[in-house]
């Protein structure tokens, strides 16, 4: 089949292109820049110039293909609100859907799991109501409603961490912050869970959804059902050789800035139904193994340029300048330099030492020195 792929040069979309080509499909990839056109052409995919804002280019892409995989998304949350990005995504899906109407051809769209978090295991059959926190539900609904209009729509909900080489989302951000501040942190007890999936497993899921997904189905790109955030912080701490600390919500807001909200999310999710329906099984390393043995720690940059702005659709409405107190916390290099509060530090030996206890010990040492002098 010839598949029209939006976001064909993105982190996820470029893996989808490779996966489709390896399975014998042809790819028509949407690109909006010369550089991306050149890079896509080297993969053997056909270049389709246009953009999400150019409805004609989307219609022409659909007309020239046997199916569509839509992964492009506007992640520029400095200039666009989350709601506006989600509305724009729905608009694109409406255009793709109208062009596909009556054809019976497949349309696979992308959504996320993080924004649907409710502290219990999310399944494919959970269909939350749209709310200010779950903006992508409107796009899911728009896509699935096309099943009644002669389209074969499916939704792939991705884990908040899609990991692997080229990752530029949450995990590199956490590594960048830990590197910059000299501590790897988690919130509270760090028992809240993040699901994860490898980029190559996600790409295979998109292909299988396209080939085998029945109209109106939702699939979960979930390999690790829920890794406690403390384990992620500990693995990062070990790799960077920095202490691992627990932060109170107030300190976490300062330490992680806008990312704190996501670090607090408890979003376990299952892909049991997806595996059963599509015969999709994750084959690649899990997130912790990827952190231990992958390439996340090569290079040593603090926060690569792409990490400076939130890139996840579940991101904040806008990046705001750090307030003064946060800015000074940002410059901290070691746990004892972090703002005082309820923070607990955890040495590499794994022993917990409350900050207050350390202060008491320091005061005692200072008093001892005064006594002996």
Ligand X SMILES: NC(=O)c1ccc[n+]([C@@H]2O[C@H](COP(=O)([O-])OP(=O)(O)OC[C@H]3O[C@@H](n4cnc5c(N)ncnc54)[C@H](OP(=O)(O)O)[C@@H]3O)[C@@H](O)[C@H]2O)c1
Rule CB under 6 A: say whether 11 interacts with ligand X.
yes
- Cβ neighbours, 10 Å, residue 357: 12
Rule CB under 6 A: say whether 178 interacts with ligand X.
no
Q: Tell me the number of residues near ligand X by CB under 6 A.
A: 27
Rule CB under 6 A: say whether 169 interacts with ligand X.
yes
Contact 107, 58 (CB under 8 A): no
Residues 280-319, interacting with ligand X (CB under 6 A): 311, 313
Stretch that binds ligand X, among 31-39, 211-219, 293-301, 330-338 (CB under 6 A): 31-39
- Report which DSSP code applies to 64: T
CA pair distance 99, 94, nearest whole angstrom: 9
Stretch that binds ligand X, among 145-153, 159-167, 315-323, 327-335 (CB under 6 A): 159-167
Query: Strands, E, within 72-133: which ranges?
Result: 106-112
Q: How far is the CB of 65 from ligand X (least distance, A)?
A: 16
Let me know the angle formed at the C-alpha of 293 by 261 and 345, rounded to the nearest 5 degrees. 45
Looking at beta carbons only, is 36 or 217 nearer to ligand X? 36
Rule CB under 6 A: say whether 34 interacts with ligand X.
no
In the complex, which residue's CB is closest to ligand X? 10
Stretch that binds ligand X, among 72-80, 176-184, 212-220, 363-371 (CB under 6 A): 72-80
Looking at beta carbons only, is 161 or 257 nearer to ligand X? 161
CA pair distance 215, 198, nearest whole angstrom: 25
Rule CB under 6 A: say whether 326 interacts with ligand X.
no
Q: How far is the CB of 255 from ligand X (least distance, A)?
A: 21
Looking at beta carbons only, is 112 or 153 nearer to ligand X? 112
CA pair distance 292, 218, nearest whole angstrom: 31
CA pair distance 351, 359, nearest whole angstrom: 16
Q: Which residues, at least 6 apart from 269, have a Cβ–Cβ distance to it below 8 Å?
A: 113, 121, 122, 123, 157, 159, 195, 220, 222, 225, 226
Residues 202-241, interacting with ligand X (CB under 6 A): none
The number of residues making up the chain comes to 373
Among 3, 5, 12, 142, binds ligand X (CB under 6 A): 12
Looking at beta carbons only, is 160 or 335 nearer to ligand X? 160
Name which of 109, 101, 29 is nearest 69 in CA terms: 109
Q: How far is the CB of 307 from ligand X (least distance, A)?
A: 12
Looking at beta carbons only, is 34 or 368 nearer to ligand X? 34
Name which of 58, 62, 59 is nearest 105 in CA terms: 62
Among 20, 45, 62, 72, binds ligand X (CB under 6 A): 72
Q: How far is CA 135 from the centre of its chain?
A: 15
Q: How far is the CB of 312 from ligand X (least distance, A)?
A: 6
Among 13, 237, 282, 315, binds ligand X (CB under 6 A): 13
Residues 79-118, interacting with ligand X (CB under 6 A): 110, 112
Cβ-count burial 193-229 (b if 16+ within 10 Å, e if not): bbbbbbbbbbbbbbbbbbeebebbbbbbbbbbbbbbb
Among 18, 26, 43, 74, binds ligand X (CB under 6 A): 74
Residue 4 tokens, joined: 């029209």
Looking at beta carbons only, is 183 or 233 nearer to ligand X? 233
Return the C-alpha torsion angle 363, 365, 366, 372, nearest 10: 150
Among 17, 27, 30, 174, binds ligand X (CB under 6 A): 30
Rule CB under 6 A: say whether 33 interacts with ligand X.
yes
Residues 49-68, interacting with ligand X (CB under 6 A): 51-53
Looking at beta carbons only, is 194 or 246 nearer to ligand X? 194
HSE-up (13 A, CA, CB side) for residue 296 = 30
Q: Which residues bind ligand X (CB under 6 A)?
A: 7, 9-13, 30, 32-33, 36, 51-53, 71-75, 110, 112, 158, 160-162, 169, 311, 313
């Amino acid at each position: 089949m010839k598949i029209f792929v939006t976001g064909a040069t993105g982190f996820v979309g470029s893996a989808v292109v490779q996966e489709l080509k390896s399975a014998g499909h042809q790819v028509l990839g949407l690109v909006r820049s010369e550089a991306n056109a050149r890079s896509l052409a080297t993969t053997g995919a056909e270049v389709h110039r246009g953009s999400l804002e150019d409805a004609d280019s989307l219609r022409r892409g659909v007309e020239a293909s046997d199916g569509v995989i839509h992964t492009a998304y506007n992640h520029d949350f400095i200039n666009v609100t989350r709601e506006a990005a989600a509305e724009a995504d729905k608009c694109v899906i409406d255009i793709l859907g109208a062009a596909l109407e009556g054809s019976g051809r497949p349309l696979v769209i992308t959504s996320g799991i993080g924004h649907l978090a409710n502290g219990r295991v999310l399944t494919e059959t959970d269909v939350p109501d749209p709310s200010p926190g779950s903006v992508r539900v409107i796009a899911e609904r728009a896509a699935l409603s096309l099943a009644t209009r002669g389209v074969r729509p499916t939704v792939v909900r991705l884990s908040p961490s899609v990991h692997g080489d080229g990752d530029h989302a949450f995990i590199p951000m956490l590594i960048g912050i830990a590197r910059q501040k000299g501590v790897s942190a988690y919130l509270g007890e760090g028992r809240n869970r993040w699901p994860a999936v490898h980029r190559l497993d996600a790409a295979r899921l998109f292909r299988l959804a396209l080939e085998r997904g029945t109209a109106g189905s939702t699939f979960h790109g979930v390999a690790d059902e829920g890794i406690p955030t403390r384990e992620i912080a500990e693995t990062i701490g070990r790799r960077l050789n920095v202490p691992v600390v627990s932060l109170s919500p107030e300190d976490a807001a300062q330490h992680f800035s806008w990312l704190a909200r996501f670090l607090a999310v408890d979003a376990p999710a299952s892909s049991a139904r997806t595996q059963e329906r599509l015969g999709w099984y994750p084959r690649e390393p899990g997130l912790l193994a990827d952190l231990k043995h992958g390439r996340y720690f090569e290079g040593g940059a603090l926060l690569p340029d792409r990490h400076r702005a939130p890139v996840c659709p579940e991101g904040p409405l806008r990046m705001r300048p750090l307030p003064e107190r946060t800015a000074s916390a940002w410059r901290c290099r070691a746990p004892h330099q972090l703002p005082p509060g309820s923070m607990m530090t955890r040495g590499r030996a794994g022993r917990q030492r409350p900050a207050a206890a350390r202060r008491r010990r320091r005061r005692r040492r200072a008093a001892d020195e005064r006594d002996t002098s």
